[in-house]
Structure 1
Amino acid sequence: MKPEVIPAAELESRVKTAKEKLDAHAYETVQWHFHDSTGSPFWLEKKRELKFDPLKEVKNFDDIKKFPEFEDEWLRGGPIDRWVPKGLAGQPVYVFETGGTTGIPKSRMVVTDHWTDYENFSDTLPDKYFPRGANWLMLGPSGPRRLRLAVEHLCQHRGGICFCVDLDPRWVVKLIKKGWMEHLEAYKDHCIDQALTVLEAGHDVKCMFTTPKLLDALCQALEKKGKSFADTGITGIFSGGTEFTPQFTRFCVEEYFGGPPEESGIYMTPTYGNTLMGLACSKPVSKEEGYKISYYAPQPRAVVEVVEFDNYNQPVGYGESGRVKLTTLTKEFFVPGFMERDEGEREQPYAAYPWDGVSGVKPWRGIASSTTVGVY
């Protein structure tokens, strides 16, 4: 599948409309989170420390820069209900964790954001390869992470039943840090065995979520059985992680799948996301563009900017490298200027997503040599 191409004037019009929608959404979100009747205890308390009045001085998205850099330590520890907006009081609350391989994990409260994010993402999936009513396999991290519940909801939203494996990424990180590679391989085999058991049990699974490393391990396990990925019957793969590279994508398409979707009948869409942002979709990936992967945040609910390494309020030029900056704008959660642990290149808007994107995502150079990534 190739990206939609439209005349420059039409693209310019879509970019302008998207910017206007984002400005209005940013204003409404700040009004909600900082009004005494609807805001969360955290932001209402933080308002007293600010050198400006968000209710009066944030009129558009650019005004979000007036907030100080968001500190991820604010998300570590409780009480978690300090993040629950008064306007949502009394509703059932989920807690999802991100990070936390050592020490206290970062936590995010959620009411229905994960459902909304994945319902919106569902609209981007081609029904030809992700059939409505099809059953899914969730081969990824479980436990207190939102992925398991979110993928299950995506499956149910599309009319199917989701089968899940049990995977604890914190244990994987500990194995890596201890150098217990034999144990690591055994645990990976354990997770893949769970997946193979589901796929061989006659449940007619047609779609799946997985990560690049687990997809690679699954394909290798199938080859040892004398089978190919096509033998699973899966036609749609939704995958994500910084380990997603053009090289890996090319290998999957050309070696594991047997060609592009038009020939193999297998479609894979990369995504870039986390507990704070939701899901950034990718432009359709093609051989003609060197399997380049460009991601676009789910505006206006979340915005990704690629900014200078030494000035987080200054975007880099198109095609230039910078650090990834995230702003989350929902009624449940407001995060202004969160500096991700990733970097990449700033990409031009395009027809389906008329706002800036990011490509070449990889660990931020400031921590790349001191962190464990791609554990899935």
Structure 2
Amino acid sequence: MSASEQLDQHLREIIQWHFSPETGCPFWLEWAEKNFDPRKEIHGIGDMLKFPHFQDESLRDLQPEVWVPKEYQGRPFNIFETGGTTGMPKQRIGWDDFRIDYSEFSEKISDEHFPRGEAWMMMGPTGPRRLRLAIEHLANVRGSACYFIDLDPRFVKKLISNKQFDIARQYMDHVVDQASTILKHRKISGLFTTPKLLEALAEKIDIFEAGIRGVFCGGTTMLPQYVRFIVEEVLENRIGFYPTYGNTLMGLAASVPLLPEDKFSITYYAPQPRAVLRVVNPQNTDETVEYDTWGRVELTTLTREFFMPRFLERDEALRRRPRAPYAWDGVAEVRPFGAMENKIVEGVY
């Protein structure tokens, strides 16, 4: 079965699940009553254009119970937050999606860089984000334990927006100091962090000498010149580098290993069929842009726990051709939408 056939089959199963009274959640069942029955009209991924863009404000405004599928009623759920720099954060509930995403990701990282059974450290946002549970699950899948250094990105963004750069630097130093202390006293070989924190940590200690052999990096903007700096200067071509593009609503899009002809341009591929990424024309979002052209990122999430059609991310990217082992389009050089026109505050990312 081809990747497109597999996606269409999976899509039909997910549509059936979320829009059947026996299994669906209150939000989508009520939506279908007011709009149309997707079980009759959605047969393949091309039909998804019949859906309007998902408005993620509903994740902020509605009680989480409206998203519980009938089959999951009575099962306690995790509540994960995204964003939330000001006001009420958006929330996604979940059960096992993060385990599925990160178990699959475990097969994409090298035992040389992340030796099985050897400890990890996460230096990044924990708290209400699914990342904390996901990284620990990833370590556990590989027979490892994980140490945590907490970070509050909302606080950092607030400081930077208020131009309190000295305090932001103090807070960053505080996080880095904790990480370097753990690395000094514990044997750790795998590290998850953001690009900016990785850079700050490498300024303070020699991370290769500290035992790190692989870095799994999450963050939005990693343009080619910065990637080259990380690979050659920060990691000195001695430590494995695994950048990813992910969020609470999508899961995890892994990158393909960099080749010389990539010139340090990173391409990410969504975890199809559970999530689908399109790079669309911002002026006409029904259209995908040409390959190697900038457009806005559109996300559709297709799991039994969460259905989200055609959400316009606050990101833009280059559309890239399929590349083994992926038989679908990728997104490259992801950055905040409108980054070339506006000053975007990304804080520690």
1:274-299: CA deviation from partner (whole Å, max 9, x where unpaired):
00000101110134421110010000
Which residue in the other structure is 2:228 paired with? 250
CA gap of 1:366–1:136, structure 2 versus 1, over 3 A, is: closer
Higher mean C-alpha displacement, 296-305 vs 55-64: 55-64
Specify the code of the residue in structure 1 equivalent to 2:52. P
1:76-98: CA deviation from partner (whole Å, max 9, x where unpaired):
03311111111111222000000
Which residue in the other structure is 1:28 paired with? 13
Which residue in the other structure is 1:219 paired with? 202
Q: Does structure 2 retain, via aligned residues, the 8 Å contact 1:40–1:86?
A: yes
Which residue in the other structure is 1:311 paired with? 284
Which residue in the other structure is 1:94 paired with? 78
**1 CA distance for matches of 2:196 and 2:275?**
27
Indicate the SS of the match to 2:21. coil
The CA deviation at 1:312 is: 1.0
Specify the code of the residue in structure 1 equivalent to 2:207. F
Which residue in the other structure is 1:184 paired with? 168
Specify the code of the residue in structure 1 equivalent to 2:64. I
Q: Does structure 2 retain, via aligned residues, the 8 Å contact 1:30–1:54?
A: yes
Which residue in the other structure is 2:104 paired with? 120
Which residue in the other structure is 2:25 paired with? 40
CA gap of 1:139–1:370, structure 2 versus 1, over 3 A, is: same
The CA deviation at 1:248 is: 1.8
2:40 corresponds, among 45, 53, 56, to 56
Which residue in the other structure is 1:13 paired with? none
TM-score calculated relative to the size of structure 1: 0.90
Q: Does structure 2 retain, via aligned residues, the 8 Å contact 1:324–1:342?
A: yes
Specify the code of the residue in structure 2 equivalent to 1:215. L
% identical aligned pairs: 50
Q: RMSD over aligned Cα, in angstroms?
A: 1.4
Which residue in the other structure is 2:67 paired with? 83
Which residue in the other structure is 2:50 paired with? 66
Matched, 1:134 2:107: no
Specify the code of the residue in structure 2 equivalent to 1:73. E
**2 CA distance for matches of 1:358 and 1:137?**
28
Which residue in the other structure is 2:330 paired with? 357
Q: Does structure 2 retain, via aligned residues, the 8 Å contact 1:323–1:344?
A: yes
Q: Does structure 2 retain, via aligned residues, the 8 Å contact 1:241–1:374?
A: no
Which residue in the other structure is 1:106 paired with? 90
The CA deviation at 1:372 is: 2.1
Matched, 1:372 2:345: yes
Which residue in the other structure is 1:9 paired with? none
Displaced runs of 4 or more, over 4 A? none
1:79-135: CA deviation from partner (whole Å, max 9, x where unpaired):
111111111112220000001100111100011101111111111111111111111
Matched, 1:234 2:234: no
**1 CA distance for matches of 2:344 and 2:222?**
17
Q: Does structure 2 retain, via aligned residues, the 8 Å contact 1:243–1:374?
A: no
Indicate the SS of the match to 1:42. helix
Specify the code of the residue in structure 1 equivalent to 2:102. Y
Gaps of 5+ in 2: none
1:25-79: CA deviation from partner (whole Å, max 9, x where unpaired):
01100110000010011111111121x3211111111112111110011110331
Q: Does structure 1 retain, via aligned residues, the 8 Å contact 2:153–2:347?
A: no
**2 CA distance for matches of 1:167 and 1:205?**
19
**2 CA distance for matches of 1:86 and 1:368?**
45
Q: Does structure 1 retain, via aligned residues, the 8 Å contact 2:222–2:333?
A: no
1:229-265: CA deviation from partner (whole Å, max 9, x where unpaired):
2111111111011232221221122222222xxxx2x
Q: Does structure 2 retain, via aligned residues, the 8 Å contact 1:341–1:367?
A: no
Size of the aligned set, in residue pairs, is 349
Matched, 1:148 2:138: no
Gaps of 5+ in 1: 1-15, 223-227
